[in-house]
Amino acid sequence: MKVLITDFRHPDPSVERAVLDEVGAEVVVGQCKTSADVIEAAAGCTGLIATYARIDDAVLAARPEIRIVCRYGAGVDSVDLAAAARRGVWVANSPDYGIGEVATHALALALAQVRRVAWLDRDVHAGRFHFSSAGPIRRATSLTLGILGLGRIGKRMALVSREIFGRVIACDPYLIDGDFPHYVERVDLETLFARADLVSLHVPLTDETRGLVGQRLLERMRPGSMLVNTARGAVVDVPALLAALDAGRLQSAALDVLPEEPPPAGAPVLAHPRVLLTPHAAFYSEASVIENRTKAARNIVDWVRTGRPTYVVVEGAPRPAP
């Protein structure tokens, strides 16, 4: 069998090759940007492993030989899941490779704002050396952290934050009460934004969450509050966020993810003095990358051996006998 890595940001596919070698799969690598690129590169491929390339219905229709699509990482919004389900194509991901990294990064972005680290750094470099040059700082234990989406990463964020902030509250309508740790208070969406001093987003990008953090919720936030987004850029309505910052509603925001990545030159978000940006780096450590690549490829090995990938997102049709 042949497996296409549709787009790839590592020096070489040696990790994936070593794993897929176990079932004798040939690995080919593309740098596909559009679904047309994927269609061209995927000729004769049974499996795809994708980073950002969109795997839409056109790809699956043009290449019916594709039986399994694996997405590096947790987010599968770049794959048309309904089309895959309709066509009996398995979809898998590697959702748990970087939970610690993302939660640690979200905490770093939270603390960089609470302690004003980024702004104090800018001030010192600009010749201003004073402990309050970046404005008043509130004691972290007096603050309430609000978590939207209490899944794998949200729960870890709650765990690593519980000793730092005075209170941790969270909204996740899809969990039962028993899934909320005892140190996290369950609240609804409106209450989360009204009560938290700092909101950290950990929801997947879905029809329901696209643009969810917009004017309506931002207007509910307390004056001087802060936002962290390590989830997906399109969960936040960025123009509405910049307006809330300019209106003084929010003190600052830290975004690891943006609706368009990288952001186009001249995008207002790049120039806003109270926005802290990182380049979709929350998942990254050397160890997490190896784990992600190994797990993405192992989905296909498991599917070949057992008929099921390790991490099933969409259940596909049974694999035809070899």
Ligand X SMILES: NC(=O)c1ccc[n+]([C@@H]2O[C@H](COP(=O)([O-])OP(=O)(O)OC[C@H]3O[C@@H](n4cnc5c(N)ncnc54)[C@H](O)[C@@H]3O)[C@@H](O)[C@H]2O)c1
- Catalytic residue IDs: 232, 261, 280
Contact between 295 and ligand X per CB under 6 A: no
Q: Rounded to the nearest 5°, which phi and psi values hold at 25?
A: -80, 140
Contact between 210 and ligand X per CB under 6 A: no
Contact between 282 and ligand X per CB under 6 A: yes
Identity of the residue, 30 or 146, whose beta carbon is nearer to ligand X in the bound complex: 146
Cβ atoms of residues 51 and 8 within 8 Å: yes
Considering only the stretches 48-56, 64-72, 159-167, 197-205, report the one whose residues sit in contact with ligand X under the rule CB under 6 A: 197-205
Alpha-carbon distance 227 to 181, whole Å?
A: 22
Identity of the residue, 104 or 133, whose beta carbon is nearer to ligand X in the bound complex: 104
Cβ atoms of residues 166 and 143 within 8 Å: yes
Identity of the residue, 98 or 146, whose beta carbon is nearer to ligand X in the bound complex: 98
Among 30, 154, 259, 316, binds ligand X (CB under 6 A): 154
Residue 68 DSSP SS3: strand
Question: Measuring CA to CA, which residue among 117, 187, 178 is closest to residue 145?
Answer: 187
Q: How far is the CB of 81 from ligand X (least distance, A)?
A: 13
Considering only the stretches 132-140, 145-153, 286-294, 305-313, report the one whose residues sit in contact with ligand X under the rule CB under 6 A: 145-153
Contact between 256 and ligand X per CB under 6 A: yes
Q: How far is the CB of 115 from ligand X (least distance, A)?
A: 21
**Type of residue found at 20:** L
Contact between 74 and ligand X per CB under 6 A: yes
DSSP letter for 55, please.
B
Alpha-carbon distance 49 to 241, whole Å?
A: 34
Residue 154 DSSP SS3: helix
Residue 128 DSSP SS3: coil
Give the Å distances, CA to CA, from 134 to 15, 110, 114, 119: 45, 16, 11, 6
Identity of the residue, 277 or 282, whose beta carbon is nearer to ligand X in the bound complex: 282
Identity of the residue, 186 or 319, whose beta carbon is nearer to ligand X in the bound complex: 186
Contact between 220 and ligand X per CB under 6 A: no
Footprint of ligand X on this chain (CB under 6 A)? 73-75, 95, 98, 102, 148-154, 171-175, 202-206, 208-209, 230-232, 256-257, 280, 282-283
